[in-house]
Amino acid sequence: MSIWKQLYAMVWLAFLQIVLVTVDVPGFKQHLVYGHTTLGLVIVALAHYNNMQIKKTNAPNRLKRIAKSTAILVTIQPIFGVIILLDLMFRLNVPLIGVITFFHLITALAIITQVASVATAYDMWEEKEYTSSKT
């Protein structure tokens, strides 16, 4: 699969992951959380794979930096996620769980935003759809 397709797939997987955790279906919440977790692991792998693939191209350095920072953010997410999951499963009453959940959400939104940006820019670069504005 080409890099731009992988990047767009990651955008939609991240979107689905966010949607899964916001849906409240009685008796089904645990399955949604496990689906969210599974998608998260797929996104971690995909982010690092995309980062490695983009590094090998002649894409602009800005795209490479954004892909790298996205991979770093994606790597941090499971730390927040595991804390939240353990708190939910075992009712640990983790101090500041609301703050941890907030950072998990904000990081997720940053990831989806950055991946969408890289996907669009990479696609345009690969198709040579933009030119320099220098005169």
- Supply the pLDDT for residue 133: 66
- pLDDT (tens digit per residue) in 5-15: 999 999 999 99
What six digits make up the tokens of 117?
């940006």
From residue 47, alpha-carbon distances to 25, 89, 127, 131 in Å are: 29, 27, 22, 27
Q: How many CB atoms lie within 10 A of CB 122?
A: 26
Cα–Cα distance for residue pair 6/50, rounded to 1 Å: 7
The pTM for the full model equals 0.91
Question: What is the total count of domains within the chain?
Answer: 1
| 126 vs 57: CA distance, rounded Å | 10
Name the residue range of residue 29's domain: 3-126
Q: Is residue 30 assigned to a domain?
A: yes
Q: And the tokens for 55? A: 């590094």
pLDDT one-digit tens code per residue, 56-84: 999 999 999 999 999 999 999 999 999 99
In a domain, 73, yes or no: yes
